[in-house]
Structure formats: C-alpha cells, structure tokens
Amino acid sequence: MKKLRLHSVPNSLLTICILTNGARKQRLQRVLSFIEFLGFRCIILDSASTSLDLEYNRCSLYIHCPDETTIHRLLKIPNLVESKYLLLSPDDDFFLPLGIQRCLQFLEENDQYTSAQGQRIYFREGKVIEWGPMYENYTGLDFWEDDVRERLLRMSCSMHFIYSVMRTEVFSKIISTLENTESKNPNSAFQVEYVFNYLLALFGKHKILPILYSARERHPVWHQNLSFSGWINDTQDQAAVNFRRSISRMYQSSMKLSDLDAQKLEQEITNYFVRRPKAKTIENLSLGRFKNLAKRFIRTFSKGFESGVLLRWRFSKLRPFFPLWRKSYWRYYFEIWKSGNVVNFYKDLSSFIQFLQRNKVSD
C-alpha cells in the first residue's frame, strides 16, 4: 500500500448527494452552507410535496422529486453525477474537510480500494455543544483481503458503508440492483443501507482511515421497531424476492459462481442480517452507571456558581477521554494519535463546533 502524501486533491473529484424529504429545512440549509464552505459540488434530491425555497451556490443542483421514494431517487443519481467519486449524505450529517480530502487522496493512490471513510463523532446542541466518538468499536478496520468471498463475508457483517466515499461506477452497479424492489412493507427500509453491505466488497477493498470524517446529531433511532427479517424472508412479497435474486445474480456474474452457489452465498449473508439485533434507542445508549452518577454530580455541584456553565462545558469537553466512560474510546483516540492526526482532528473539530455555534437552528 502506498504511503499517503500530504497534498490536496481537486474538489471536482467528488459530488455529495443529499436525499431529503423537506421536513428539516433549516438543518438542510445549514448542511448546504457547510458544503459550500468545503467547495464540493452538491446534488439535492427532495421528495417533499412542495418545492423548498433554498439558498445554495452555483455548485449545487436542487432537484424536486415530489413524493418519490428513496429508491427512485437513488436510481436517478448515476445519471446526474459526472465526478469520479460520490458521497451519499443524509440531510443533517456533516462531513469534515480533511477527512474527505484524505479519503479521496487514499483512493486516488490505492486503485484496489473501492471506498473509504474515516472516524465519526456525534454531537448534541444545547447551551454548550457536546460531542463524543461514534462507532468506536469499528476503528481501524481495513478490509484488505484479496479473496473476494472472504472480504465479502467479513464486510457484510460489519458496520454500514452507505455513507462512504466510493467510486461512482461502483455505486452505480450497486444501486442498479434496486430496480423492481420497491415494497410497501415498512421493514424494507433497511434495504437501501444493507445493499452496500451485500455488494460493496465485490468490487474492491475498503478502509477506515484514522482521521475525523463526519459528525452526526444525536437523536432517537427512528427504526427501532422495524425488522429486516419481516421483509426479506417474505416469499409473498415480490419486491423481496426480486431483491434477493438481484443480489445473487450480481454474485454470480462478478464472482463467476453457479446460480446455486450464488444463492447460497446470498442466503448466508441474509442470515446475518436476519439475526442482527435491533438498534437500541438513544436513551439506552448509556455509557454506564458511573458516568450517569458523575454527570449528576457535576450538574448538582455547578448549580449556584457563576462558573457553573463553564464547569459543565469543561466536563463535556473532557468526557470522551475518560476510560471510565468507555474503554473503547482509547482505541478510537489511539488510532488518531498513532497516525499523527491529533492536530488535524482538533483543527477540523474546532472549526466545525464554531460553525455550529454561528449557525444554530430551531427545527
């Protein structure tokens, strides 16, 4: 693997694509302002019934797709993107400048890799902005296996890859499998995420780089009561049948498998998603009893002091570093330290927090 050289890559290499339903206009507008700061081209596909009156720069393209489903809008993207790389984004996530640049740089210098992403944080807005590591258990992953089957099985049961920087031609191949798989079953909502776990590893390797990559606002998990198995195993739902058949055909053509072997491979991976535990609600994502006691102590202790806000601010800033909160945080920060990215991590983090402070939203 080639060593990364510290130079920037042209912004024209990447297009950021945002799917929105118009429900959070202020948050979407804030994300667009941040992307404008980054300097990348952005395409917004909006399914709201009424077109949004948005402010965006000349590098952005707004497409109104009234009442269209996520799948229909995804299928439109390949015909709209001319850049070599593509980044799919929710309408309230932020991708950090250096993280995107390093992913592009890495992919430019490593042809065998199809996609890349970096380390993530969550943030919560209030009187002060709290933040902490996300997906810390997946830090430092490198799906480098030359054997496609081995790489596929390892990646499929790992984290999600839908919001990675990936080669546009590969994105197009993956999305093509969603043709004729539209279902009215709410449990099918997972398919647009899982399709990348099913297929991304077919076309190349994937790496999580030790650099700050994205920030997501913490909010309750919307799909906690949904079950992928409630759709994918429904043989009476033609969309589910078509989806599984489309996946196995992609295995068959890409890996030169027999039809039977391709179906067996698809079944093996599907079995993992069926057994996958339900997402926990944010309220249950506690970092331990000791943390809650400590937070209560800090809040109680700070009451009545003029410096109370400052004290709570310092506590929120330092909280992610304490091993008592979560031991896996150490690996998260160790990867950044080992790669020499500590200064860059906090440079991007500081700029991002300042942006949030200047651009607060109410919706």
Q: What is the DSSP string of 277-334?
A: PPPPPGGG----HHHHHHHHHHHHHHTT-TTHHHHHHHHHHHGGG-TTT-THHHHHHH
Q: Which two tokens stand for residue 246?
A: 């489309």
82: containing domain: 11-275
pLDDT of residue 279: 42
- Condensed to tens digits (0 to 9), the pLDDT of residues 220-263 reads 554 556 788 889 999 999 999 999 999 999 999 999 999 999 99
Number of domains in the chain: 2
**Residue 306 and residue 164 share a domain:** no
Same domain, 179 and 51: yes
pLDDT in tens, 298-346: 455 545 444 444 444 454 555 544 444 567 788 888 899 999 989 999 8
Q: Are residue 174 and residue 132 in the same domain, yes or no?
A: yes
> Are 36 and 110 found together in one domain?
yes
The whole-angstrom separation of Cα 219 and Cα 46 is 22
Answer yes or no: is 161 within a domain. Answer: yes
Q: Which CATH number covers residue 128?
A: 3.90.550.10
pLDDT (0 to 100) of residue 69: 94
The domain boundary residue, chosen from 217, 251, 275: 275
Q: Which H or E element spans position 229? A: helix 229-232
Residues 214 and 299 in one domain: no
| pLDDT tens digit sequence for 105-160 | 999 999 999 999 999 999 988 888 888 899 888 888 999 999 999 999 999 888 88
Residue 344 belongs to a domain:
no
Q: Are residues 185 and 300 in the same domain?
A: no
Rounded to an integer, what distance in angstroms lies between the CA atom of residue 108 and that of residue 113? Answer: 9
148 in the same domain as 260: yes
303 with 269, same domain: the answer is: no
pLDDT of residue 220: 58
